[in-house]
């Protein structure tokens, strides 16, 4: 599933086509994705102006001048693809319609935004902007990693309450929003922390280092366009390339980039964790 860097990369790619633009026509080609689409979705989107395009955790939110926000969740294989506008130095022509183009937004600037999802694990919803915090997908999310509410004292207080492994705790969206399996593995390697270590037993100095490391790893991944392992594509259809910078993730039995010891893989909470047994304690 796309993590914060992939979703932020897509959001940035949508800006030239969507932000400040009116939706001339919304085309909804099926009644559901992972869950049913909202009632009268096409009619509620058609004619609406996109005032602002935001990200909350792993969700994209398009604030409309109607007082509603379009919530977009990419799921495992969802893609938001832009055509008909300039993206950087390139103008992308409109492609031929594809089988899995489930929602298509025709924008007033000539752009087209297409939600394509072969496996239909993604989702879209319309929510009142002033009530979005209560939406069942957003309620209970922790602070954003780049936000002012996420800091050393906050993280230390949360970790003190937790006897679970630090890897599991950092994946908990109630603790910090947007982190996923790839980036937690990379963060813990840079911090030199064994993913199995109990969260409450991590020293204060190491917790203090975690906050800037989390931000550094996420920032680097965003600048690289995210990580493309299977389905992730940027809004222009291009791959991300942060996967070429992985230090431990998906590198089982390969030599550690720091000490040369073989990278190990274990399973925690049904997810693979990658770490160096020499560098991470």
Contact at 8 Å (CB) between 274 and 185? yes
Q: Is the dihedral of CA 164, 168, 171, 172 positive or negative?
A: negative
Element (H, E) at 43: helix 41-45
Side-chain-side CA neighbours of residue 176 (13 Å): 32
Q: Which of 3, 8, 68, 132 is catalytic?
A: 3
Report helix angle 204-223 to 152-160, nearest 10: 120
Query: Of 11, 58, 167, 233, which one is the catalytic site residue?
Result: 58
| Assigned token pair, 128 | 């009142």
Cα(108)–Cα(155) distance, rounded to whole angstroms?
44
271 catalytic? Reply is yes
Residue 75: which residues within 8 A CB-CB, separation 6 or more? 1, 33, 34, 117, 119, 120, 121, 122, 123
Q: Which two tokens stand for residue 12?
A: 């940035």
242 and 226 Cβ atoms separated by less than 8 Å:
yes
Spatial neighbors of 59 by CB under 8 A, at least 6 apart, are: 7, 71, 72, 73, 137, 138
Active site residue 38: no
Distance CA 112, CA 109 (A): 9
Distance CA 115, CA 235 (A): 10
Q: Could you confirm whether 262 is annotated as catalytic?
A: no
Catalytic residue status for 99: no
Angle between helix 204-223 and helix 181-191 axes, rounded to 10 deg: 130
Please give the positions annotated as active site: 2-3, 58, 271
């Amino acid at each position: 599933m796309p993590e914060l860097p992939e979703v932020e990369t897509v959001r940035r790619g949508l800006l030239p086509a969507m932000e400040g633009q009116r939706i001339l026509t919304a085309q909804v080609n099926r009644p559901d994705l992972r869950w049913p689409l909202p009632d009268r979705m096409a009619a509620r989107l058609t004619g609406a102006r996109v005032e602002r395009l935001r990200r909350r955790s792993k969700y994209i939110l398009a604030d409309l001048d109607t007082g509603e926000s379009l919530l977009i969740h990419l799921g495992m294989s969802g893609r938001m693809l832009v055509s008909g506008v300039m993206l950087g130095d390139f103008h992308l022509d409109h492609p031929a319609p594809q089988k899995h183009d489930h929602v298509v937004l025709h924008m007033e600037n000539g752009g087209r935004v297409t939600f394509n999802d072969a496996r239909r694990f993604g989702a879209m919803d319309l929510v009142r902007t002033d009530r979005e915090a209560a939406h069942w997908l957003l309620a209970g999310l922790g602070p954003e990693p780049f936000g002012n509410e996420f800091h050393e004292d906050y993280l230390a207080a949360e970790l003190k309450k937790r006897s679970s492994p630090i890897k599991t705790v950092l994946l908990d969206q109630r603790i910090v929003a947007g982190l996923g399996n790839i980036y937690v593995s990379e963060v813990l390697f840079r911090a030199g922390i064994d993913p199995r270590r109990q969260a409450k037993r991590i020293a204060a100095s190491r917790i203090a280092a975690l906050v800037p490391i989390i931000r550094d790893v996420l920032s680097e991944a965003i600048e690289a366009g995210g990580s493309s392992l299977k389905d992730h594509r940027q809004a222009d259809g291009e791959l991300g390339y942060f996967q070429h910078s992985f230090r431990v993730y998906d590198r089982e039995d390969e030599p550690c980039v720091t000490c040369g010891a073989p990278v190990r893989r274990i399973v925690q909470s049904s997810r693979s964790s990658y770490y160096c047994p020499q560098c991470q304690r």
